[in-house]
Each structure stands twice: as structure tokens, then as C-alpha cells.
Amino acid sequence: RAMLEVLFSTGMRISELVSLNRNQIDGTGRIFIMGKGKKERFVYLTQRAQYYLDQYLVVRNDNFPALFIPYSGRNVKNLRKRISTNYLQERIKFYREKLRINVPTSAHSLRHGFATYLAEEGASPAAIQILLGHESLATTTRYVHASDRYAEETHRKYHPLKEPK
């Protein structure tokens, strides 16, 4: 659960999640990421994600540097062990089926959902671009699937000729 909470809380890429080390998280829930193209950025945990991550780390009881590790397999004692992207996708599939979610769900769809949710709550496209680690705002707009309802609501709220309250 901690992995899924961190993914949705931060909007990070699956490759960024599996490469995370414990020392990349500071005490305030801020995570330093070396993203695509060696681009550096910070992402932020919600209190809920921080809670589940703390619970996971209490149970871990080891000194491996990787934030998320496998608990079985041939390299279980290897200090450099990490979960794989395939493992994470399998966990997402497992929880989707367990919760009877009938829409396709993947790590990437969680990233899309993160961006869309922020946009619908009023976050600026520039802020979303920074959080996702995109070079171009055009890339970010492909991620943000704001609904027609939200577009209409935004028009009513911000248009200069809107009806007075």
C-alpha cells in the first residue's frame, strides 16, 4: 500500500519510484528525485502517504538503502536489491482486482490521475509541470484530462463578464 500511496501522492514515474533510496526523503515528507534526463526536482508526500510509508519502514527492520525492496527471490540478501517495475505493476493489478475496480489502472494512470486531480482543484499548469518533472508545458497538458464540467465551472468562475453574485 505504501508504494501506491507514494505514487499517487507524488505523481512520480514508476522508474523514479523503484530507484528511490531511503536517504532521498527528508523529515518533512519532501523527496528529492533525479528524474528523466538527470533532471532534479522535489516531490511531496501527503500526510496519508507519509503515514503508510512510516508503517512500511517500521516493519522493514533492515538497513538496505533502497526504499522499496522485494521480500522473496534469489537476491533477497543483496544490499542492492530493489523492487522491479514489473513487480509494481503486478501489485497494482492485484489491488485493482481485490478492490473490484473495473477500469484499467497502472502506475502511469496514477500519474495521470495525480495531474488531473491537481488541475481540477485549481493548481496552475506551471506547478503541475514542475511536480511531474516535464521540460515542456505541452507535455503536461497531455497529462491533464480536465473534465468538461470543470472547464464550464472555470469559465463561469473566472470570465471577466461573469454574472455578479
**Whether 30 is catalytic:** no
13 is catalytic: yes
Of 91, 96, 108, 112, which is the active-site residue?
A: 108
Q: One of 13, 52, 81, 82 is an active-site residue; which one?
A: 13
Distance CA 17, CA 87 (A): 12
Taking the C-alpha atoms of residue 67 and residue 82, their distance in angstroms, rounded to an integer, is 8
- Name the DSSP letter for residue 12: -
134 assigned to active site: yes
Give yes or no: 87 in active site: no
111 is catalytic: yes
- 22, 30, 36, 155: the catalytic one is 36
108 is known as an active-site residue: yes
Which residues are the active-site residues?
13, 36, 108, 111, 134, 143
